[in-house]
Amino acid sequence: MNLETVKQDITQVLVTEEQIKKRVAELAQEIGKKYAGKDLLLVGVLKGAVMFMADLSRALEIPAQMDWMAVSSYGSGTVSSGVVRILKDLDADVLGRHVLIVEDIIDSGLTLSWLASNLEARGAASVEIVTLLRKPDAAKVEVAVAWVGFDIPNEFVVGYGLDYNENYRTLTSVGILAPAVYS
């Protein structure tokens, strides 16, 4: 779905479909080199990372498996609570495997730093993170992110998997949500 469809709800397009496509291809190249010859398990974080995971995995030129986790840190608001709950756990056993967490966006970084330690504690051979988007606050938390698609300003964004109250996920680009929608 195009941003034009919900134009009144979006104040600015931050990342276009074309920019995403180009960047995803670059990331897939780098990731493919890093994991060549290794047993790679992509762990997508539901539901925001669905689009990114689908495109990134298909752009990879090495074999990989896909699994999914659902965690909650936000409720339905727009500010991170820091409380992480597992809503859906992995089907796969990560013991001895190279895990790449695929995330839509890092804001406070609380969700990811918790998730990375959780997967490390299960005995993964390695745990790395790739995120499509990163907000400035992420720098404050000690979470090592191997790959970042785009650094964006501290705004609430939607589209390409990212939602507000489950809406806007199907947009093909990423835009800033008009504050009027959530205030």
Active site residues: 107
Quick one: the chain helix, strand, coil %, rounded to 5?
30, 30, 40
| Residue 160 touches ligand IMP, criterion: CB under 6 A | no
Residue among 124 and 143 whose Cβ is closer to ligand IMP? 143
Interaction mask 82-121, ligand IMP, x per CB under 6 A: ---------------------xxxxxxxxxx---------
What span, in angstroms and rounded, lies between the C-alpha atoms of 42 and 10? 31
How many residues bind ligand IMP (CB under 6 A)? The answer is 19
From 1-9, 15-23, 116-124, 156-164, give the range in contact with ligand IMP by CB under 6 A: 156-164
Q: How many CB atoms lie within 10 A of CB 144?
A: 10
- Non-local (6+) Cβ contacts of 129 within 8 A are 100, 101, 103, 112, 116, 143, 144, 145, 146, 147
**Minimum CB distance to ligand IMP smaller for 73 or for 126:** 73
Length of the chain: 183
Interface ranges with ligand IMP (CB under 6 A): 45, 48, 73-74, 80, 103-112, 156-158, 162
